[in-house]
Amino acid sequence: MPFPRRASSKREEQAFHIEARRFLDLVLPSTALSLHVPNEGKRSLILYDRRAFCMEFKSDDGALDIDQRACHAQLRTAGIPVEVVRCFEEIIARLHEWGIPLKRNVEFQNAAYQRFVDKCVEAGATVHA
């Protein structure tokens, strides 16, 4: 199975969230903080450079419920960007769009993560020494 894969069920969504949180912990620079916000779906708040960003982790077929939509609207009203992400590629793309650099020379527990980050760097993602 190619890496990364998209989540397609609630169980896979939960597994994706766990892996995505680990991934964020590995690739975010020491000047960034990622916080897990428990909710029906899975959401992470990222604090970087005195700004906040929000990612909601969903499966391919996962949809936001009315409470999640309301929360996203409140966050956006407060000036916090919110994005639904469904795979590791989307996580990296959002970090890149938000100007959040990736760590360089990270010791990855999974070699696939390292290959993926290397591929993202080759594609132009910013890295932090």
- The predicted model scores a pTM of 0.73
φ and ψ at residue 44, rounded to 5 degrees: -130, 135
Q: Which of 2-6, 56-60, 112-116 has the highest mean pLDDT?
A: 56-60
Cβ(20)–Cβ(34) below 8 Å: no
What pLDDT was estimated at residue 49? 94
Question: Which of 85, 112, 108 has the alpha carbon at shortest distance from 97?
Answer: 85
**34 within some domain:** yes
What CA–CA distances, in Å, run from 97 to 83, 107, 108, 119?
A: 11, 24, 23, 16
**2 within some domain:** no
Q: How many domains does one find in the chain? A: 1
**87 within some domain:** yes
**89 within some domain:** yes
State the CATH number of the domain containing residue 36: 3.40.1350.10
DSSP 8-state class, residue 34 = E
What residues make up the domain containing 94?
A: 10-123
Tell me the pLDDT tens digit for each residue of 40-52. 557 889 999 999 9
